[in-house]
Amino acid sequence: MKLSVPGQQQVFRLYFAAWITFGLISEAGAQQSSNPSPSAVPGSDAEHAAEVDSRGDAAMGFSHALTTHHFLLFSDGGAIAIEADDSTDKRSITAIRQHVKRIAGMFARGDFSLPMFIHETQPPGVDTMKQLRSQITYLPENTVHGGQVRIFAATPVSVKAVHDFLRFQIKDHRTGDPITITESRGGGPTSPAPRRPRPGDNLGHDAQPVKDRP
């Protein structure tokens, strides 16, 4: 097309520039729609899991790859149990026992900074567990290949808070433990200790064996 009038040539150039711009915008929009946000990418779950494991290793002092976590829900509370996968891995076993003793003391004081660091969020139930900490007992115990924190809650409200907290841990640590309430079992390498451990089994510095009655 031959445009002899200068004004017509200017109008044509403007229309041509607008057409090119519209084409570029449309192409960019199509590319954006074909590339979902990171939160929608399936790999994001794997990335989050890797970050949780990495922060957990740093905070707990042992490797998730060498140990196994279990979070168990009981009618009177629950348990956080950790075992070394290799029974000869004394380093992991020692670190686990130190960790369960540490978090039992922290939780009893209403300090949940460690799980908040590991998960980068405040787990459900924490606010209530802090408010009702006088109704919740945390007992650190040695198991055959590691240790556990047995949690006893005295009221329905505190029990629910503990269960909410443990269910979150099951999901974010991907342990595959049941989210339903089960009954505690007898002692064993992967089983929680009896429901009411003797004070002598506690890891507290002042724990004394209970003398059998005559």
Per-residue pLDDT of 51-101, as tens digits, reads 998 998 999 999 999 999 999 999 999 999 999 999 999 999 999 999 999
Q: Where are the chain's structural domains?
A: 48-201
Q: Is the pTM of this model over 0.85?
A: no
Buried b / exposed e over 26-54, threshold 16 CB at 10 Å, is eeeeeeeeeeeeeeeeeeeeeeeeeebbe
pLDDT digit string, tens, across residues 82-94: 999 999 999 999 9
